[in-house]
Amino acid sequence: MTMQTKRFSPRDYLEENPQVRKILRIAMVIALIIIGGLLVVMAIDVYTWDGFVARTSKSVVNGLALSMLLFLMVSGFFLIFGLCDVINFAHGAFFMLGGFMGFVIYLGTEALFLDSTLPFHLIFGANQFAMSLTAFIVSALGATAILALIGGGIEFFTVRRLYGNPIAQILLTVGFMFIITQIAEIIWGPPQFSYFITPNSQIAYFFMSGILDFGEGMIFEIYRIFLIFLGLAVAAIMFVGFRKTRIGLQIQAGIEDSEMVEALGTDIRKLFTIVFMLGAGLAGLSGAVLVPWIGANSGHGLTYLIYAFVIVVIGGAHYGRFEGTFFGALIVGLSMQFTAYFIPFLENIIVFIIMAIILIIRPGGLTGHE
């Protein structure tokens, strides 16, 4: 009667045999990939296989362009979240404001260049390509600078008082989100209107409206290819900056352990302000380069804020690395454009499905840990 029968428990069995567990895990991943691939094939089959190559290539180009853009924006959000532990709800609003700033500065610069009383036309002559390119660069840099100043000011005057109180920070940044969004709505109108540079521009030739045509429906817009290279270039600069410069290393170390960095003699408060300026500036830059493609819209704040959340969480929010954000942006951008071209009804949901799956498999995201 006293004999106890040991019940067979799969969990105990797996813990005793790690090799079986490893094999099982690999088999499960393979099975998941196969099932996922089958589902994708089925879903495409429901729609149509017509123009498969053209649609694939288009979605790759658009997806890469979108993911580079998202990466530019989200890297700022990630820096602020990682180093200062502030969930910056105002980041989407920074992004949106950056778009309007880019729009306004572009048109202003262009008008300045075309003004015959000013000496600018002596430099450019009839070269409208150079003129529009210069105006575009000026607009992107101007939006970056303005947003960096705004972000730095917000950190210096308000957020600085509230470190260590995450709940109050949420309230504060939501307040700034409301203020910026509403001011933008008052000046530029409700979210139903989008502002594109092309229809408002005075220059007929415009490097942003150029097209590469390979035939068979494979038409790519030059601006999106340009965006890919711009994003890659900024990413490369940031990677190198974080590896080689002193301040970059300090920021990266601060994300890992800010108290230790402070103990080693770094003025972490100054670092926080710099990171806020950098983050808001990146949001402004990405907003400004978004205008020729998707447009500036006062409703962008909340939409892109949610994408920022998703990407940062996929990449690894806590103690995550910079590469995680990059890959997260790639996953989100590519999956969104692929579903837009192949399985349209999933376009808005796919991102959240992917995020849930990744979080269930790896709770800390791709590079972070709990």
Partner 1 sequence: MNEERKIVGNLKGTILRIPSILSNNRTVIAVLAFLYLLPLGTTAGTSPVRALLFLITQIMIFSLLAMSFDLQLGRSALLNFGHVALFGVGAYFMAYTLDAGFLPEPFNAIAAIPYPLTLVLAMMIGGFLGLIMGLTTSRMRGTAFAFIALAISMFLYNFYAENPGLSGGETGLGVPTPDLIRTAPFYLLFVALAFVFLAAFAGMVILYLKKRTDSIALILFTPIMIVFTAFLFLFGTNIYGPILVFYAFLGMILLFWMERKRRISDPLEYVEKTFAMKGEVETTNKMTTYVIPFIIIIITLIGLAVTFGTNIAEMVSLWIEDTTTFYYTIPVQFYLVLTCLVMTYFFIRRLIASPFGRMVTAVAQNEERAEALGYNSYRAKIVVLVISGAIAALAGALYAPFIRTIDPGTALGVEVTINAMLYTIIGGIGTLLGPILGTGVVVYSELNLVDFITEGLGLPGRLWLVGLGVMYIFIVLFMPLGIVGSIGRRAGSIKESLRQLKFGRFEFGLKDVDYWVFGFLGIMGLFFFLVEDPRFLPIAIGIFGFLGVVGFFLLYIFRGEISSRIRSYAKKLRFARGGD
User: E strand or H helix at 202, and its extent?
Assistant: none
Q: Which three-class secondary structure state does DSSP give residue 115?
A: coil
Look at residues 220, 296, 290 and name the one whose alpha carbon lies nearest to residue 56: 220
Q: Does 345 bind partner 1 (CB under 8 A)?
A: yes
Cβ proximity to partner 1: between 57 and 158 the closer is 158
Among 158, 194, 209, 252, contact with partner 1 (rule: CB under 8 A): 158
Q: How far apart are CA 174 and CA 184, in angstroms?
A: 15
Task: Please answer whether residues 159 and 137 qualify as being in contact, where contact means their C-beta atoms are separated by less than 8 angstroms.
Answer: no
Q: Which three-class secondary structure state does DSSP give residue 76?
A: helix
Q: What interhelical angle do 91-114 and 268-290 show, nearest 10?
A: 60
Q: Which three-class secondary structure state does DSSP give residue 340?
A: helix
Among 40, 145, 170, 253, contact with partner 1 (rule: CB under 8 A): 170
- Joined together, the tokens standing for residue 370 give 């709990």
Cβ proximity to partner 1: between 131 and 184 the closer is 184
Q: Does 28 bind partner 1 (CB under 8 A)?
A: no
Q: Does 353 bind partner 1 (CB under 8 A)?
A: yes
Among 59, 88, 132, 181, contact with partner 1 (rule: CB under 8 A): 181
Candidate ranges 18-26, 71-79, 112-120, 161-169; the one touching partner 1 (CB under 8 A): 161-169
Give the up-direction half-sphere exposure of residue 267: CA atoms within 13 A in the CB hemisphere: 4
Locus of tokens 């700034």: 176
Q: Does 174 bind partner 1 (CB under 8 A)?
A: yes
Number of residues counted as binding partner 1 (CB under 8 A): 41
Site for partner 1 in 87-116 (CB under 8 A): 89
Cβ proximity to partner 1: between 85 and 262 the closer is 85
Cβ proximity to partner 1: between 291 and 343 the closer is 343
Angle at 345 between CA 358 and CA 364, to 5 degrees: 10
Residues 6+ apart with CB under 8 A from 30: none
Q: Least distance in Å: CB of 249 to partner 1?
A: 25
Cβ proximity to partner 1: between 43 and 170 the closer is 170
Cβ proximity to partner 1: between 191 and 241 the closer is 191
Cβ proximity to partner 1: between 180 and 234 the closer is 180
**One-letter amino acid for residue 207 of the chain:** F
Q: Does 176 bind partner 1 (CB under 8 A)?
A: yes
Among 69, 96, 97, 355, contact with partner 1 (rule: CB under 8 A): 355
Q: Does 310 bind partner 1 (CB under 8 A)?
A: yes
Cβ proximity to partner 1: between 33 and 353 the closer is 353
**One-letter amino acid for residue 240 of the chain:** V
Q: For 283-336, give the secondary structure using H, E and C.
A: HHHHHHHHCCCCCECCCHHHHHHHHHHHHHHHHCCCCCCHHHHHHHHHHHHHHH
Q: Which three-class secondary structure state does DSSP give residue 116?
A: coil
Q: Does 162 bind partner 1 (CB under 8 A)?
A: yes
Q: Does 182 bind partner 1 (CB under 8 A)?
A: yes
Q: How far apart are CA 164 and CA 189, in angstroms?
A: 37
Q: Does 14 bind partner 1 (CB under 8 A)?
A: no
Site for partner 1 in 60-89 (CB under 8 A): 89
**Rounded (10°) CA dihedral 55, 61, 66, 67:** 110
Cβ proximity to partner 1: between 43 and 174 the closer is 174
Q: Least distance in Å: CB of 76 to partner 1?
A: 18
Which residues of the chain form contacts with partner 1 (CB under 8 A)? 89, 158, 161-162, 165, 167-168, 170-172, 174-179, 181-183, 185-186, 302, 306, 309-310, 313, 317-318, 345, 348-349, 352-353, 355-356, 359-360, 363-365, 370
